[in-house]
Structure 1
């Protein structure tokens, strides 16, 4: 089965919310989208060019200051159709989980390995910090039920991320309890 270009659909989805520059799109990966998907500058701009060549988006030039030109992208009707088709097509496969920490654990044979406590504690600290960040984002973005309902999909993925980090930190606490006894 051919891999679909998920970045294309993310960019279409972001542009369905509002017109954006390439910089604005990149910032979305630093903020909201970055909680569950990553993309680099070197991936975003070539994809925007391909999408424009395919007729999924267009751009207009906006002058900022005296000379600075910015391309402001927007969806075409074709782009909207492609996005809607993707949203309404079932996702019939599980995501690939690439967790380097878990891979390292796989290769540790001895419960008394001196690195074990250190790497588990480090992961616990990282995941606990991320969990606190996500809870703060949820409080800031969705303080009321009306706010949750206004952007329900975003609310759901944030709740999912909080649950994921909570479960991960609970598991790491259990592991730490076993290896420090």
Structure 2
């Protein structure tokens, strides 16, 4: 929300398409949070009309909200967050390389991660077609680059396991 005014729907789409790579939020979380932020004076909204009658709230950071965002971004992030990966949890319970469940599990994950890798590479090409686009949203570019690296590693690891 620090780039331009956005609707709750815009924010939900950002979580789905961009931010969702590293942070999840559901529609049911976004709108109550917008209300709390507005009550706290950190954002404000302007009613706009889309089409003939559709009223939309466009939210913007207030100066106080911007200060809080800048302070939060500047704070250290000293903890590693645990990631949830159901596949990895299931692997923990595979006791033998001969387990008949293993190969189908690996194949399924390889397809999923190859698909995700292709999607991320396409997003990078779409969102960052040139250096100017990278320069305007460098942090976003770094996050997408990180996600691509993570998926590439995952695909390589699965391919290695499938070759054995």
Fold shared, TM-score > 0.5 on shorter chain: yes
Equivalent in the alignment of 1:22: 8
Match of 2:123 among 137, 150, 171: 137
Structure 1 CA distance for aligned equivalents of residues 54 and 131 of structure 2: 41
Change beyond 3 A, Cα 1:41–1:121: same
Runs of 4 or more, structure 1, over 4 Å off, are none
Match of 1:126 among 88, 91, 112: 112
Equivalent in the alignment of 1:161: 147
Deviation at 1:17, TM superposition (A): 0.6
Range 59-68 or range 15-24, more displaced: 59-68
Structure 2: state its 5+ residue gaps.
none
Deviation at 1:32, TM superposition (A): 1.4
Equivalent in the alignment of 1:3: none
Equivalent in the alignment of 2:83: 97
Deviation at 1:56, TM superposition (A): 0.6
Range 30-39 or range 117-126, more displaced: 30-39
Equivalent in the alignment of 1:37: 23
| TM-score after normalising by structure 2 | 0.94
Structure 1 CA distance for aligned equivalents of residues 63 and 12 of structure 2: 23
Match of 1:152 among 113, 132, 138: 138
Equivalent in the alignment of 1:67: 53
Q: What SS does the aligned partner of 2:116 have? A: helix
Deviation at 1:61, TM superposition (A): 1.4
1:116 and 2:102 correspond: yes
Deviation at 1:132, TM superposition (A): 1.0
1:69-99 deviations in whole A, cap 9, x for unaligned? Answer: 2111111111001100011111101111111
